[in-house]
């Protein structure tokens, strides 16, 4: 295996890098379920020397799937951050869940990554979940490499897989390798940058790679793809374009460095191929991660706001000279202390220090900081920008919270989570577990922002809600096995929502004036469907009354009455989403008006309006 010279990947742009950040790659592997993410991760851990026995997904012994339940299911559900060395670089691998029920976890991990490897099944090409993760990667502007896995599988077709990426993902794939053979005849690959052929000997776990001749029947394909690669790269750089038009051959290093820039800036996606199962191509993919994916220093400074109340912009550069800022992206329940996974964006995080949680406004203790490997952890005296570490000692921090220097507070962009769509009732199997159930649910709610629970006021039942049936199954299993509270589970209830389809204007009158102090409130309101901004509340209230028509507490009464009524739904008691309620006008009485009267008038108005506004049921958002 070629060892890259420093100049290849760690271009010296004059910016000092005392912490060696240029040699860090924070990456995630994302894929449609079954494309081979777990197997590929396992191979990576093996080649990077951190596990000594190759685990096989099919017998449930892989290193990242250490959760007992994942082994039983054979799919990766919980993300774990693992550090591994490659070619004098540190790779922090964030294992992302591939199941649609856990999209929030995928989003959360993408948020803290610098680059991603998208794994495809060579037979299936782009699948539905690949589209979802690709959209998410684009949203967070995460540069990506593509790995066409399962080249050994019957029906494997490299060209059509790449075609499906171009067509369905609207990405910019550029093969930097092509496979030699396919299906049972898959033997190796041709590196289009060096124009060398590599043959893998099965039976040596891919350790033995032999350089050889390009097979004659592949020459035409190599020629074609190499030409495309050179053309794409030349378009990215004037000097290379000059050489290209004058037919001067390009050096591998210059191809790599321009391809790196284009990948980091999101314009190109180098394509690799192999078979993780047969140990083919994984080391080359790791070379690709080092060569083409960004280091924390290649990424733009992270943006945030000063506090939850003050949204003046704050920037943190990836340097220890900036004030400390980190984002908690995962909390894992461990005995005796929970592990808080975080990414450090700037400054230093020392073991035994106190940090400020900008979301809660309180200080937290970070008693110890660890770097996590698949099967062991290493205690650090401090973490620097770009590091992905796990800490213990924190108490009140939640997933998505920012930890920072109290003198320089910052709230990094908060992670948005979709609302749960499905619920089941649970009751402890043993009556004595009533209290432990509450404690366990609170703990789970802290770890998983897509999980909520409540006690139904009418029935007294405990209802848990999540993103899908599998999610709930996993949660109830966790309750039993991890938290020691076995439960009986009721039938799933899907959380429907309602919506309105047209605008209506109505009047609401709440007037009672017979003897004594009466009630008096009249409001004119408009209800209409609207599209809330991303992450904003699905209900908007606008006060369009002329100044002074109504006292501010009356307006507050209208707002709260309207919001409550919208939440209660109209057709079947489910919240009505995406409603804007505008208070157009109102009338009050000197003596008989009150905030409560206006709340009541607004309820009457909104009820009336919902009836006329073309109410519909929304399908739950599920697979």
Name every residue whose Cβ is closer than 8 Å to that of residue 231 and which is 6 or more positions away in sequence: 244
Provide, rounded to whole angstroms, the least separation between the CB of residue 58 and ligand GDP: 5
Provide, rounded to whole angstroms, the least separation between the CB of residue 149 and ligand GDP: 5
Rounded to whole angstroms, the Cα distance separating 349 from 404 reads 9
Radius of gyration of the chain (CA): 29
The footprint of ligand GDP on this chain (CB under 6 A) covers a number of residues equal to 20
Interface with ligand GDP (CB under 6 A), residue from 37, 261, 401, 471: 37
Interacting positions 66-95 with ligand GDP (CB under 6 A): 75-76
Contact call for residue 277 and ligand GDP (CB under 6 A): yes
Specify the residue, 208 or 512, whose C-beta has the smaller distance to ligand GDP. Answer: 208
Specify the residue, 130 or 465, whose C-beta has the smaller distance to ligand GDP. Answer: 130
Interface with ligand GDP (CB under 6 A), residue from 23, 25, 87, 150: 150
Provide, rounded to whole angstroms, the least separation between the CB of residue 205 and ligand GDP: 13
The single-letter DSSP state of residue 3 is: P
Nearest to 443 by CA among 328, 335, 344: 335
Rounded to whole angstroms, the Cα distance separating 562 from 415 reads 28
Provide, rounded to whole angstroms, the least separation between the CB of residue 59 and ligand GDP: 10
Interface with ligand GDP (CB under 6 A), residue from 97, 98, 318, 557: 98
- Stretch of 147-155, 355-363, 486-494, 562-570 lying at the interface with ligand GDP (CB under 6 A): 147-155
Specify the residue, 121 or 498, whose C-beta has the smaller distance to ligand GDP. Answer: 121
Token look-up 């139904």 returns 456
Provide, rounded to whole angstroms, the least separation between the CB of residue 110 and ligand GDP: 16
Contact call for residue 33 and ligand GDP (CB under 6 A): yes
Provide, rounded to whole angstroms, the least separation between the CB of residue 109 and ligand GDP: 14
Q: Are 575 and 567 in contact (CB under 8 A)?
A: yes
Rounded to whole angstroms, the Cα distance separating 349 from 324 reads 7
Sketch the per residue contact string, 38 through 57, with ligand GDP: x for CB under 6 A, - otherwise: xx-----------------x
Provide, rounded to whole angstroms, the least separation between the CB of residue 120 and ligand GDP: 10
Provide, rounded to whole angstroms, the least separation between the CB of residue 108 and ligand GDP: 18
Interface with ligand GDP (CB under 6 A), residue from 26, 275, 450, 545: 275
Rounded to whole angstroms, the Cα distance separating 527 from 582 reads 6
Instruction: Report the DSSP pairing between strands 422-428 and 493-494.
Output: antiparallel
Q: Are 337 and 392 in contact (CB under 8 A)?
A: yes
What is the CA 91 to chain-centroid distance, rounded?
19
Token look-up 């499905």 returns 422
Instruction: Report the DSSP pairing between strands 504-512 and 89-95.
Output: unpaired
Contact call for residue 260 and ligand GDP (CB under 6 A): no
Rounded to whole angstroms, the Cα distance separating 280 from 184 reads 13
Nearest to 493 by CA among 579, 570, 429, 573: 573
Which residues lie near ligand GDP (CB under 6 A)?
31, 33-39, 57-58, 75-76, 98, 149-150, 152-153, 275-277
């Amino acid at each position: 295996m070629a060892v890259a010279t420093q100049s290849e990947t760690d271009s010296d742009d004059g910016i000092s890098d005392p912490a060696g950040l240029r040699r860090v790659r924070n990456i995630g592997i994302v894929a449609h379920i079954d494309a081979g993410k777990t197997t590929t991760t396992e191979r990576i851990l093996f080649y990077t020397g951190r596990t000594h026995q190759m685990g096989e997904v099919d017998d449930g012994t892989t290193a990242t799937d250490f959760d007992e339940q994942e082994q039983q299911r054979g799919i990766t559900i919980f993300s774990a951050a693992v550090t591994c060395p490659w070619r004098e670089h540190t790779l922090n691998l964030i294992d992302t869940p591939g199941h649609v029920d856990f999209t929030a976890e995928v989003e959360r991990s993408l948020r803290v990554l610098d680059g991603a490897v998208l794994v495809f099944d060579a037979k299936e090409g782009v699948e539905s979940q690949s589209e979802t993760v690709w959209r998410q990667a684009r949203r967070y502007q995460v540069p990506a490499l593509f790995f066409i896995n399962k080249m050994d599988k019957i029906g494997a077709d490299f060209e059509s897989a790449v075609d499906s990426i171009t067509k369905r993902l609207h990405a910019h794939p550029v093969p930097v390798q092509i496979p030699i053979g396919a299906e049972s005849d898959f033997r190796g690959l041709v590196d289009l940058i060096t124009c060398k052929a590599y043959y893998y000997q099965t039976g040596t776990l891919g350790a033995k790679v032999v350089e050889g001749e390009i097979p004659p029947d592949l020459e035409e394909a190599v020629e074609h793809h190499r030409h495309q690669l050179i053309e794409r790269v030349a378009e990215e750089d004037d000097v290379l374009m000059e050489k290209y038009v004058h037919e001067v051959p390009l050096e591998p290093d210059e191809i790599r460095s321009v391809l790196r820039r284009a990948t980091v800036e999101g314009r190109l996606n180098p394509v690799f191929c192999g078979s993780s199962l047969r140990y083919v191509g994984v080391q080359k993919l790791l070379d690709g991660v080092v060569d083409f994916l960004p280091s924390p220093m290649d990424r733009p400074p992270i943006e945030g706001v000063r506090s939850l109340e003050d949204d003046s912009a704050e920037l943190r550069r990836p340097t220890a000279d900036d004030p400390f800022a980190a984002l908690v992206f995962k909390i894992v329940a461990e005995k005796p202390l929970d592990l808080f996974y975080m990414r450090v964006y700037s400054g230093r995080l020392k073991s035994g220090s106190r940090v400020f949680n900008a979301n809660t406004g309180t200080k937290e203790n970070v008693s110890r900081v660890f770097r996590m490997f698949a099967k062991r952890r290493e205690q650090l005296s401090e973490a620097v920008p770009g590091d992905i570490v796990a800490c213990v000692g924190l108490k009140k921090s939640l997933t998505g919270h920012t930890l920072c220097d109290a003198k320089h507070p910052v709230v990094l962009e908060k992670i948005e989570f979709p609302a749960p769509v499905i619920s089941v009732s649970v009751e402890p199997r043993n009556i004595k577990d009533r209290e432990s159930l509450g404690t366990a649910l609170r703990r789970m709610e802290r770890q998983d922002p897509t999980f909520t629970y409540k006690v139904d006021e009418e029935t007294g039942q405990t209802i848990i809600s999540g993103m899908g049936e599998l999610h709930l199954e996993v949660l109830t299993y966790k309750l039993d096995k991890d938290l020691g509270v076995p439960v009986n589970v009721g039938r799933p209830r899907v959380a429907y929502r309602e919506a309105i389809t047209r605008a209506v204007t109505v009047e609401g009158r709440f007037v009672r004036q017979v003897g004594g102090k009466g009630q008096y409130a009249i409001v004119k309101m408009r209800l209409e469907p609207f599209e809330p901004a991303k992450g904003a509340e699905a209900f908007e209230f606008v006060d369009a009354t002329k100044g002074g028509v109504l006292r501010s507490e009356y307006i507050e009464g209208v707002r709260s009455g309207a919001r409550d009524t919208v939440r209660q739904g109209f057709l079947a008691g489910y919240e009505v989403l995406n409603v804007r309620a505008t208070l157009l006008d109102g009338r009050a009485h000197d003596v008989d008006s009150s905030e409560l009267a206006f709340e009541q008038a607004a309820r009457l108005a909104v009820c009336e309006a919902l009836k006329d506004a073309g109410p519909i049921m929304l399908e739950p958002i599920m697979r």
